[in-house]
Amino acid sequence: MRVLLIAFYFPPAGGGGVQRALKFCRYLPEFGVDVDVLAPDDPKWVAVDTPLMDEIPEATVVHRVPFHGPRASYRGEALRGTSGLGRLAVEAKHLWPRLLVPDKAVPWFLNGVPAAIRIARSRGIDAIVTTSPPNSLHLIGAAVAARTGLPWVADFRDPWLENIHRLNDNPGLRLKAAANRRMARLVAGRATRLVAVTDAIADELAGMHPSARGKTAVIENGSDFADFRSLAYDPGDRFTVVHAGSFFGERSPRPTLLAVRSLLERRPELRGRVLVRFVGDMRGADREWAGSLGIDDSWEETGFRPYAEALAAERSADALLLLIEHAGGRGDTVPCGKLWEYFAAGRPILAAVPTHGVAAGLIERYDAGEVRDSDDADGLSQALEEMIDRRNNGGLPDIVYPEEVRERLSRRTKSKELAELLRGIRA
């Protein structure tokens, strides 16, 4: 069986959103599913990870077509320090991307659809898979399926309508949300099967169209333990906490940094012996705020790092920091793909997340670390202190998962689940 996987984020794109598609390419052939990939050429990503190109399996055939949409950027960062005509110029530059529905990647539809149809016919494709974000890829899937008659699986890594980082707090955004609902209903109705990484996303999909519930499956994100096989944990002089990933939307480093300041006020002897590493980009406003706390010797920002370097930083950490905000209740249903990577790294997790949410439940289920509420800087400070004392009084060992748990979590198992689903729609 051969599938065409349509992905906007694929090497040399960097960031966590690349890994689901890339790992499917690695493991699906083990289960009798060969993969062609359609991805953008020069898609103007924020993060580029050229070394990740080496991770594309030789058997994967990658097709690239141009993307003529806007360059990815953070409007808030661009506006910082501007005023007058300069500010108006920045706003004008970002106006077009903000008007695009459902997202900034929708211009790729014009090149993506004819390319996908051509590939499907010339390569003997048996099924189409689209993976989001961006959600506009599912519109490509709908068009290609309609033209070719091929079965089509729409895979959702994030919610479409209840995205944790998206607010509908003005009339323009509410109009855009209404258009998104119509597009989501079209996709849910036309897709042969719908796949979600969480039960909550599956529930959202099931409500999009009367036919959706009976054709929706959950295939979670997975952990690739092989990525960490050659990496070792070697405790250093400083207790190091690593947060992997950049800050955007409502995600904030502030509760963590307040927790560190509180700890150093209680335990001044720990100054110089604790370090929080943010392996990714911080917003300028957060960076300036952090500089006002008087703890510059206790945190650092590395900026975006290639995937291999991020994994090495995670494995060498004493603890791994997971941040999920409440976002008006939306954070309860978002486990964050980074969590599965943390499971594979094997180091204890320090989680500032909604305590009744999905992420907290998974961490507690696998006894993988400490959970505190997203807004509870004092609780986070106490948990950090306990972890430091445990390391200093006997060590903070790896989290060792039973073999059946490793199997359940693994990317290979998730690829097997997708392969079974694909064979089912072809039958």
Banded model confidence at residue 115, pLDDT cuts 50, 70, 90: very high
91 pLDDT above the threshold of 90: no
171 pLDDT above the threshold of 80: no
Before 12, cis peptide (omega within 30)?
Answer: yes
Reduced to 3 states, what is the DSSP secondary structure of residue 403?
Answer: helix
Residues in the chain: 427
pLDDT of residue 389: 96
pLDDT of residue 190: 96
Query: Which CATH architecture does the domain made up of 2-222+410-426 adopt?
Result: 3-Layer(aba) Sandwich (3.40)
Banded model confidence at residue 47, pLDDT cuts 50, 70, 90: confident
Where does 274-376 have alpha helices with state H?
284-291, 307-316, 338-345, 358-365
43 pLDDT above the threshold of 60: yes
73 pLDDT above the threshold of 80: no
163 pLDDT above the threshold of 80: no
Before 134, cis peptide (omega within 30)?
Answer: yes
Residue 217's identity, in one-letter code, is A
Where does 149-278 have alpha helices with state H?
171-190, 199-206, 254-266
Residue 237's identity, in one-letter code, is D
pLDDT of residue 246: 87
Report pTM: 0.91
- pLDDT above 90: percentage of residues in the chain: 77
Overall fold of domain 225-392: Rossmann fold (3.40.50)
HSE-CB of 122 using CA atoms within 13 angstroms: 9
161 pLDDT above the threshold of 60: yes
97 pLDDT above the threshold of 90: no
- Give CA 138 to chain center in angstroms: 18
Angle ∠(165,171,174) on CA atoms, nearest 5: 50
89 pLDDT above the threshold of 70: no
User: What is the DSSP annotation of 373-387?
Assistant: -TT-HHHHHHHHHHH
Model pLDDT for residues 371-426, shown as the tens digit of each residue: 999 999 999 999 999 999 999 998 899 999 999 999 999 999 999 999 999 999 96
Banded model confidence at residue 328, pLDDT cuts 50, 70, 90: confident
360 pLDDT above the threshold of 60: yes
CA gap 72, 56 in Å, rounded: 23
**Among the listed ranges 260-264, 267-271, 334-338, which one has the minimum average pLDDT value?**
334-338
Q: Residue 422 has what DSSP assignment?
A: H
- Give CA 380 to chain center in angstroms: 23
Is the Cβ–Cβ distance between 56 and 133 less than 8 Å?
Answer: no
pLDDT of residue 254: 93
CA gap 123, 88 in Å, rounded: 48
* % helix, strand, coil for the chain, step of 5: 50, 15, 35
Residue 46's identity, in one-letter code, is V
Q: Strand order in 216-218's β-sheet? A: 61-66, 34-41, 2-7, 127-132, 152-156, 193-196, 216-218
CB within 8 A of 15, min separation 6: which ones? 9, 45, 46, 47, 49, 245, 246, 304
**Among the listed ranges 85-99, 133-147, 329-343, 350-364, which one has the minimum average pLDDT value?**
85-99
Domain regions of the chain by residue span: 2-222+410-426, 225-392
**Among the listed ranges 174-178, 316-320, 342-346, which one has the minimum average pLDDT value?**
174-178
Banded model confidence at residue 333, pLDDT cuts 50, 70, 90: confident
Same fold, 2-222+410-426 and 225-392: yes
Angle between helices 307-316 and 338-345 (to 10 degrees): 50
